[in-house]
Structure 1
Amino acid sequence: MTVEKDVVVVATASTSSTFTNMGKRGETKGLFFRTLSSDSLQAVAAAMMAYEAGFRKPAIIYFNNDWGKNNQAGFIDAFKALGGEIGNSVPFNPDQPSYRSEITKTLEGDPDSLYMLSNTQDGVKHFRDWIRFDGPQNFIMPQGMNDSAFVDTVGADLLKNAWFISPGTPANSSLEKMESDFQVRWDATPKGPGRNSGYDAGVLIGLAMVTADMRGLDTSGSTLAKIIREITGPDGEEHYGGVDGLKAAIKAIKAGKNIWYVGATGPIDFDPYGDVATPFVMMKIKDGDYVDVGGISLEEVSEVKAKVRAMNN
């Protein structure tokens, strides 16, 4: 519908490779972007994090949809390419009162950890059932589980060896500014699924609309899509988030300069299908909050993807 109406979309929480394939077929007409890395990158980064954490045989419980299926498949390939073993991989359907059956299956074969491809609502149930049935308290969490409400509900004490993956870089002025502004404005933790990617999506659409206005252009989807590509190219002058940062970016655009928006998720550079490639941050819980414990570069992700290709050939 958005494509038919010439509306640009900057998705903040979509990672499914379905949209990549639609772009390759020309179905999105260049109007679709996302500020969150696709499953093909996130799954590899999560596998690398799990292996670095010392886990060697994780089980997987995954949402029975495109996101869950694609992510678990990518994770399995990457983890095996790293030299690890995979326990049972079990799908689940949402909004069930109990997941005893699914968790019982994941525990077969003595896994040493659990990769929870869940949403936060069902994830609480998965977590509690895993603990109730004496699963090891070692967890791998996707970006969608980075929610302080989840930590508060299950208790930080049970998450001492839970590892969380998130797109971004450990040291990033846009991220620091976004988090401080969010805290001041909402008096709430800025850590949560889709918050940094949502911030970047809003900035890109806002900058595109301001740029179109300064140039006397319309704000049709095709116009905004073209400008979004202009302000995210690696050949431009780097500009960051926050009020002062965005004022500087607008001033540079008005002066006719090329800019490259470096967002809260890191430097943004879209491929021909609207996918973004960003590095990743590994996080753990300390004193009830998320803290960065390391990073995974795009180069490192690419190396593991090459191992996967070699393994599958």
Structure 2
Amino acid sequence: MSVFTRSRKTTVLGGLALVGASALVLAGCAGGGTGGTEEPTENAGPTEELSLTLGTALPQTGNLAFLGPPEEAGVAYAMAQINEVTADTGLDVDVVFGDSGDTDNKAYEAEIPRLLGEGVSAIIGAASSGVSLQFIDQVTGAGVIQFSPANTSDAFTTYDDNGLYFRTAPSDVLQGEVLGNLIAEDGHQTLGMIVLNDSYGTGLAKYVTEAFEAAGGEVVAQPTYNTGDTSFDAQISEVLAADPDAIALITFEEVKTILPSLFGQYPAENLYFVDGNLANFGEEFPAGSLTGAKGTFPGLSLDAITDFTDALDEFVEAEGMDPLTEYTYAAESYDATILLALAALAAGSTDSAAMAEKLIEVSGGSGDGEKCESYADCAAIIVGGGTADYDGVSGPITFDEVGDPTEASIGIYQFGEDNTYGPYEG
């Protein structure tokens, strides 16, 4: 796998794209949260024991349910590591797990009030940008932090969130640029897309289009569908009729229904996936059905975080949880939990607004912290009166003034004969 560094350029060399993000609008990240009652202090550790309660609104059901297990495992693993050193830090964390569902089953309508009723300082979720937009006003309006490990819609960069929204996943401006350029550099001149009609799907399609057209290509078909749709014959027919060189599937789990209609009619090596549907399909499809297809998702390559995924597997087994088959956004969920705990520790408070004021600092956004790569090491710096700069499993993170990560990696993957994906070697 090759790796390259880039700064808003239009070249993809394969394997892993390292990108630098710039904020479009700058705003303060302080908020008026009600997650706790302690008064914030300078970075000298807590003056008394802190009990931090977090909630999760991650997809246990719905069209992103395959992302739920790795995300929840990442949160649980982080919680365990935080609580291992409570005696040294004075902070313990408890997590109330909840289901975000999707915009069809609307599980969030019952779950968000339940989580807020538990007195959480922050809610981790949702995975879907479209789902997060359904309850962000409810959460941040209550003065509680919303922290997504997977939202990529550019809508959040300028959203009026009272400075209480953060994410460890980068905006789709970046993934769209990488995917559009990858398709062009593979020699394709025309592109068709099947697109989920929500803020994630249409936003990502917009940036793929911009990058592909800037490289000299033409988008010849771009039909959309809605969450809850079960038939995609019209969209498939429209794309195939345009006879594109490549097809990008910007969908969630609906891809499992779409793909069988493409098999035999369209070459797999000209199909492209995104983070919403890049999955290890294995025996769900005949062997070799997806050989050569490529896809992208934000985050470091799985090869680069093997130590983390191995440790996560051990944790999952020890806890008696079902073995993981996917790891997408596990690292981002883990990092979100660690950052929230560090922010509480740095603030000396579990008050949401006080934590929000410290999240930029502990991510390295203030530019004056001491680098550290584990909760225990970062917590020791804070307890000692210093400023921690956490570099996470998912990357450096480093929040800007609107809670977006300023550095990000986009992994590029390719499917093999067994319908599972691995790093694209270029």
CA contact (8 A) 2:415 2:422 kept: yes
Shift of 1:151: 4.3
Other-structure match for 2:363? 232
Other-structure match for 2:144? 7
Q: Does structure 1 residue 183 correspond to structure 2 residue 183?
A: no
**RMSD (CA atoms):** 2.3
Shift of 1:106: 0.8
Shift of 1:233: 1.5
Shift of 1:209: 2.8
SS in structure 2 of the partner of residue 86 of structure 1: strand
Shift of 1:119: 0.7
SS in structure 2 of the partner of residue 273 of structure 1: coil
Other-structure match for 2:252? 119
Shift of 1:145: 1.5
Q: Does structure 1 residue 154 correspond to structure 2 residue 271?
A: no
**Amino acid across the alignment from 1:96:** D
Distance of aligned partners of 1:227 and 1:88 in 2 relative to their CA distance in 1, 3 Å threshold: same
CA contact (8 A) 1:144 1:193 kept: no
Other-structure match for 1:218? 349
Q: Does structure 1 residue 268 correspond to structure 2 residue 397?
A: yes
Distance of aligned partners of 1:172 and 1:154 in 2 relative to their CA distance in 1, 3 Å threshold: closer
CA contact (8 A) 1:249 1:259 kept: yes
Shift of 1:37: 1.1
Q: Does structure 1 residue 206 correspond to structure 2 residue 329?
A: no
Q: Does structure 1 residue 292 correspond to structure 2 residue 423?
A: yes
Shift of 1:203: 1.7
Other-structure match for 1:144? 276
Q: Which has the higher relative contact order, 1 or 2, with Cα contacts under 8 A spaced 6 or more apart?
A: 2
SS in structure 2 of the partner of residue 79 of structure 1: helix
SS in structure 1 of the partner of residue 263 of structure 2: helix
**Amino acid across the alignment from 1:38:** S
Q: Does structure 1 residue 40 correspond to structure 2 residue 177?
A: no
Other-structure match for 2:182? 49
Shift of 1:190: 6.1
Q: Does structure 1 residue 85 correspond to structure 2 residue 226?
A: no
CA contact (8 A) 1:179 1:190 kept: no
Distance of aligned partners of 1:197 and 1:156 in 2 relative to their CA distance in 1, 3 Å threshold: farther
Q: What residue ranges of structure 2 are gaps of 5+ in the alignment? A: 1-137, 318-322
CA contact (8 A) 1:233 1:269 kept: yes
Other-structure match for 1:102? 235
CA contact (8 A) 2:372 2:391 kept: yes
CA contact (8 A) 1:205 1:228 kept: yes
Q: What residue ranges of structure 1 are gaps of 5+ in the alignment? A: 296-313
SS in structure 2 of the partner of residue 41 of structure 1: helix
Shift of 1:115: 0.7
Candidates 362, 379, 382, aligned match of 1:250: 379
Q: Structure 2: how far apart are the matches of 1:19 and 1:98?
A: 30
Other-structure match for 2:162? 29
Candidates 123, 130, 146, aligned match of 2:262: 130
CA contact (8 A) 2:169 2:299 kept: no
Other-structure match for 2:55? none
Further displaced range: 51-60 or 100-109: 51-60
SS in structure 1 of the partner of residue 411 of structure 2: strand
CA contact (8 A) 1:168 1:264 kept: no
SS in structure 2 of the partner of residue 281 of structure 1: strand
Shift of 1:87: 2.4
TM-score (norm 1): 0.81
Q: Structure 2: how far apart are the matches of 1:152 and 1:36?
A: 30
**Amino acid across the alignment from 1:248:** D
Shift of 1:172: 8.2
SS in structure 2 of the partner of residue 279 of structure 1: strand
Write out per-residue CA displacement over residues 260-313 of structure 1, whole angstroms, 9 at most, x where no aligned residue.
222232110222221224121111234554322269xxxxxxxxxxxxxxxxxx
**Amino acid across the alignment from 1:61:** I
Write out per-residue CA displacement over residues 46-69 of structure 1, whole angstroms, 9 at most, x where no aligned residue.
212223333332210000111111
Shift of 1:257: 2.9
CA contact (8 A) 1:146 1:192 kept: no
Shift of 1:152: 4.2
CA contact (8 A) 1:182 1:190 kept: no
Q: Structure 1: how far apart are the matches of 2:425 and 2:147?
A: 28
CA contact (8 A) 1:20 1:273 kept: yes
Identity %: 25
